[in-house]
Amino acid sequence: MQKLFLKKGISRKSAYNLRNPKDDEFERHTLAILVDNESGVLARVIGLFSGRGYNIDSLTVAEVDHSGNLSRITIVTSGTPSVIEQIKAQLDRMVPVHDVHDLTAEGASVERELALFKVFAKGEKRVESLRLADVFRAKVVDSTLVSFTFELTGTPEKIDAFADLMVPLGLKEIARTGVAALSRG
Amino acid sequence: MNNYMSGAQIVVEALLEHKVDTVFGYPGGAVLPIYDEIFKQKKIKHVLVRHEQGAIHAAEGYSRSTGKPGVALVTSGPGATNSVTGLTDALMDSIPIIVLTGQVPTFMIGNDAFQEADTVGITRPCTKHNWLVKDTNLLGKIIHEAFYVSTNGRPGPVLVDIPKDVQFASGNYTKKKDFLPKRYTPKIKPDNNLILKAVKAFENAKKPIIYSGGGVINSGDNASTLLRELVDKSNFPITSTLMGLGCYPASKKNWMGMLGMHGTYEANMAMHDCDFMFCIGARFDDRITGKTDEFSPNSTKIHIDIDPSSINKNILVDIGIVGDIDISLQAFLKLWKKRGAKTSLNKTWWDQIDDWKGINCLSYKKSAKSIKPQYAIQRLEELTKDLDRYVSTEVGQHQMWAAQFMGFEEPKRWMTSGGLGTMGYGFPASIGIQLAHPKSLVINVAGEASWLMNMQELGTAVQYNLPVKQFILNNERLGMVRQWQELLHGGRYSHSWSDALPDFVKLAEAYGIKGICCDDPNKLDDAILEMLDYDGPVIFDCLVEKHENCFPMIPSGKAHNEMILSAEEPEQEIGKSGAVLV
């Protein structure tokens, strides 16, 4: 299997990055959006981002209130401060959107992401990957004689850091869920 | 009354509850049950258009001229896809319309059925909201929600996609009074602190300008009344966008004419040099601002808009107030008057404006031999301005000349495609306007190229005997394209002429209506009067000067104070960065 090529910090970037990320004022914001859980609502939100040229760094969506028929979409986006303001205003005026919270701007928040890493290694490298997984409190969820699959939960930065360490040890595949986030307290 | 009925009956019942009197539509397989119900009743008038795009523009014309939502009914697949341009047009100009589309039965959706299209998918970005109805029991509630969403907050088009089996099946109809709008609650009351800040800035303005837009018209007639009071009591100069023409009377002395790319010299210069700008229901569109980083550099800017996303989108403002124009102006005027209705207007500001006016930026070279397009509009204006008149336009040079040379005293008298710039809008729109105002004079100021884009609607005009006057400025060119090619592309007129034009008089005669052709400035008045006297639709083929340019003009990528006034001016370089703009 081909070795996975990961450039530092590139893992959170997606094909939706349409604006120039080299802009000095570029900021990364996590938005928590409460929406009606109706068909097409995700397409509406994503369509807004692609149609107006906003970035999506990561996106998660799931129903959070079955009786109230509500879903939470967590989007990590990046842009200049004025673009971030536009994104919030554009989201807020959509009919199925109940509220939009900018967790980055509204004070402390917690962010978590889950990722699975498949590492192929032998000998000392295999032992080292296990040792590092232990340091990061990653769990082994599958193993063969030549590979481990680790499960790791943490901030996106922690997951990036673990990925960077696993690359020289034989990281072949990653699956990430994207960020789930809530404001504190 | 029994509330259990078929989906098709629910559609008609809901439209009646919303006091819909006219529906523009075109039948097809997937809407036959609804057409069957329309056949059985007399209260709703159905107007058969000749193309679905025409239905949407007609509904827009109806809505823009009445303030009520327009309704269109089209079939699935091609019926729905043909409505996309009209929906986008209504979205850009914030026009409330409700489009009902048929859809293949729910059990066939996704199978590439005959005349199937992913209508809600296709129209998602060009509607304010849309719905696919999968259960007849929800149909009534969804139609009520559609009317509510379309007309509340910033108005816009909505679409309800109704599969054929949902139309046939029976279900419970939710009455309008039992529908509670819960989830969409736009903010309409302004923040009092911001109003106070705005009033203070208003009182201190030495060189002010009021810049109003279509939001004033959308907010209702009272908003225009309040705007007039504000202007008259403060004696501030006022300009307006293309969409806002008529919210302040063009005949009054504070009126400076339209601003923007083809706006008046005085309006644009005042925008650039003012120290205070009060933007009321406009959105700093690129046609208005020109080069944004040189836009009105020394002014305090206040912006009232019902849509929070319009504020600080293109131009950063000092005070952004989210609220309905009517309610916000009430609060503003009340506070301003309570504080003594003070202003700090600098007397020399009006002198300066009068100097700019003295340039007479709309002047053009008259001709005794050929009809200048500006002259044609001037004569039309002169002969119709005192009549009960509604004007629609197509898109291009003629549209700008009409905006420059026609004066509107009241809102909802001027219907034009501003945001999307849809050629082919005007003729079907004039049909919608005439149906809403059967006794009034309705004129569509057109260019021959735009007009040809929806000329099939002649059939509709004739069938319903709608006396719409099609005033076509025929220069046998795509005038605005040709003007840009002259100014930006070295006069290489690539495909910008109208070849193989029909004989418009014979075309009119083929439909059994009146056609008039005029190419002599001395006979123009008589020809226009002949058009006005005729009781029925008229095609007026006005053969005008072919290579006339529309001035004044802010070239692309230039600031307000860099307007070109005429072709005689020393040639201005439009840089590469300007040429890339539209």
The answer to whether A81 contacts chain B (CB < 8 Å) is no
Paired with B433 in beta bridges are: none
Q: Does pLDDT of A63 surpass 60?
A: yes
**Does the beta carbon of A99 lie under 8 angstroms from any beta carbon of chain B?**
no
Residue B115 designated active-site? yes
- Extract the tokens encoding B28: 């097809």
From-to residues of CATH 3.40.50.1220 in chain B: 192-358
B576 in reach of chain A (CB within 8 A): no
Nearest by CB to residue B149, choosing from A44, A47, A95, is A95
A44 touches chain B (CB under 8 A): yes
* pLDDT surpasses 50 at A12: no
**Which chain A residues touch B317 with a CB distance below 8 Å?**
none
Q: Which CATH superfamily is domain B192-358 in?
A: TPP-binding domain (3.40.50.1220)
Give pLDDT, residue B575.
64
Check if the beta carbon of residue B133 is closer than 8 Å to that of residue B165: no
Q: Does A102 touch chain B (CB under 8 A)?
A: no
> A90 to chain B: which residues are within 8 Å by CB?
309
Give residue B467's identity as a one-letter amino acid code: P
Position A35 scores a pLDDT of 97
Residue in chain A nearest B315 by alpha carbon? A82
Among the partner-chain residues A44, A89, A92, the one whose CB lies closest to the CB of B124 is: A44
Distance CA A157, CA A9 (A): 9
Non-local (6+) Cβ contacts of A122 within 8 A are A146
B144 in reach of chain A (CB within 8 A): no
- Chain A residues in contact with B154 by the CB 8 A cut-off are 93
State the Cα angle at B241 between B239 and B243, rounded to 5°: 135
Q: In this predicted structure, what is the pLDDT of residue B122?
A: 98
Question: Residue B184 and residue A89: Cβ atoms within 8 Å?
Answer: no
B181 touches chain A (CB under 8 A): no
Q: What is d(CA A35, CA A1) in angstroms, rounded to the nearest whole number? A: 41
Are B309 and A89 an interchain contact pair (Cβ–Cβ within 8 Å)? yes
Using CA atoms, how far apart are residues B318 and B530, in angstroms rounded to an integer?
Answer: 53
CB contact under 8 Å between B316 and A82, yes or no, is yes
Token pair of B167 as six digits: 């139309």
Using DSSP bridges, classify how beta strands B157-163 and B129-132 pair: parallel, antiparallel or unpaired.
parallel
- Give, for all 582 residues of chain B, the pLDDT tens digit: 579 999 999 999 999 999 999 999 999 999 999 999 999 999 999 999 999 999 999 999 999 999 999 999 999 999 999 999 999 999 999 999 999 999 999 999 999 999 999 999 999 999 999 999 999 999 999 999 999 999 999 999 999 999 999 999 999 999 999 999 888 999 999 999 999 999 999 999 999 999 999 999 999 999 999 999 999 999 999 999 999 999 999 999 999 999 999 999 999 999 999 999 999 999 999 999 989 999 999 999 999 999 999 999 999 999 999 999 999 999 999 999 999 999 999 999 999 999 999 999 999 999 999 999 999 999 999 999 999 999 999 999 999 999 999 999 999 999 999 999 999 999 999 999 999 999 999 999 999 999 999 999 999 999 999 999 999 999 999 999 999 999 889 999 999 999 999 999 999 999 999 999 999 999 999 999 999 999 999 999 999 999 999 999 998 888 999 899 887 665 555 666 667 777
Q: Which of B114, B252, B334, B506 is catalytic?
A: B114
Closest chain B C-alpha to A99 CA, distance in angstroms:
10
Under an 8 A CB cutoff, do B154 and A93 touch?
yes
Q: How far apart are CA B395 and CA B416, in angstroms?
A: 8
At A25 the pLDDT is: 79
Q: CA-nearest residue of chain A to B118? A: A40
Residue B164 a catalytic site member: yes
Q: Is B229 a catalytic residue?
A: no
Closest residue in A to B308 (Cα–Cα): A89
Question: What beta strand segments (E) does B377-440 contain?
Answer: 389-393, 414-415
Chain B residue whose CA is closest to A95: B184
Percent of chain A with pLDDT over 70: 87
Check CB contact under 8 Å for B311 and A89: yes
DSSP B338-392: HTT------HHHHHHHHHHHHT-TT-----SSSB-HHHHHHHHHHHHTTSSEEEE
| Residues of chain A numbered 125-184 and touching chain B (CB < 8 Å) | none
**By CA distance, what is A47's nearest residue in B?**
B125
Which of the following is catalytic: B92, B406, B480, B563? B480
- B477 contacts B451 by C-beta, under 8 angstroms: no
User: Which option is the CATH number for B4-178: 3.40.50.970, 2.170.120.40, 3.40.140.10, 3.40.50.2020?
Assistant: 3.40.50.970
Residues 13-42 on A with a CB inside 8 Å of B are: 36, 39-40
Q: Do A93 and B316 touch (CB under 8 A)?
A: no
Chain A residues whose CB is inside 8 A of the B308 CB are 89, 92-93
Would you say residue A1 has pLDDT above 60?
no
Please spell the DSSP secondary structure of A120-164, one letter per residue: E--HHHHHHHHHHHHHTTPEEEEE-SSEEEEEEEE-HHHHHHHHH
Per-residue pLDDT at A10 exceeds 90: no
Q: Please tell me which of the candidates A44, A47, A95 has its beta carbon nearest to residue B183.
A: A95
Residue of chain A whose alpha carbon sits nearest to that of B129: A95
How far is the alpha carbon of B43 from chain A, nearest alpha carbon, in Å? 31
Domains and CATH numbers, chain A: 27-107 (3.30.70.260), 110-183 (3.30.70.1150)
Q: Are B272 and A53 in contact (CB under 8 A)?
A: no
Chain A with chain B: Cβ pairs closer than 8 A = 39
CB contact B125 to A (< 8 Å): yes
Shortest distance between the Cα of B129 and any Cα of chain A, in A, equals: 7
Give A2's pLDDT tier (boundaries 50, 70, 90).
Answer: low
Looking at CA atoms only, how far is residue B144 from chain A in angstroms? Answer: 14
Assigned CATH topology for domain B373-551:
Rossmann fold (3.40.50)
Decide: B321 and B194 in contact? Cβ < 8 Å: yes
Residues of chain B with CATH 3.40.50.970: 4-178, 373-551
pLDDT of residue A6: 53
Task: Using alpha carbons, list the distances in angstroms from residue B237 to B277, B351, B568.
Answer: 10, 12, 30
Q: Where are the alpha helices (DSSP H) in B250-346?
A: 265-273, 286-289, 325-338
**Poorest-pLDDT segment among A7-11, A56-60, A110-114, B265-269:** A7-11
Q: What is the pLDDT of residue A22?
A: 57
Mutation site, A33, A35, A95, interface B, largest B CB count within 10 A? A95
Q: Which helix (H) or strand (E) holds B404?
A: helix B397-405
- Tell me the pLDDT band of A26, cut-offs 50, 70 and 90: confident
Q: Tell me whether residues A93 and B153 touch, CB distance under 8 A.
A: yes
DSSP class of residue B27?
-
CA nearest to B417, candidates B388, B453, B382, B385: B453
How far apart CA A58 and CA A176 sit, in angstroms, is 9
B149 touches A: beta carbon within 8 Å: yes
Residue in B with minimal Cα distance to A34: B183
Helices (H) and strands (E) in chain A — how many of each?
4, 8
CA-to-CA dists, residue B42 to B12, B58, B520, angstroms: 11, 21, 48
Q: For residues B445 and B396, is the Cβ–Cβ distance under 8 A?
A: no
Are A40 and B132 inside 8 Å of each other by CB?
A: yes
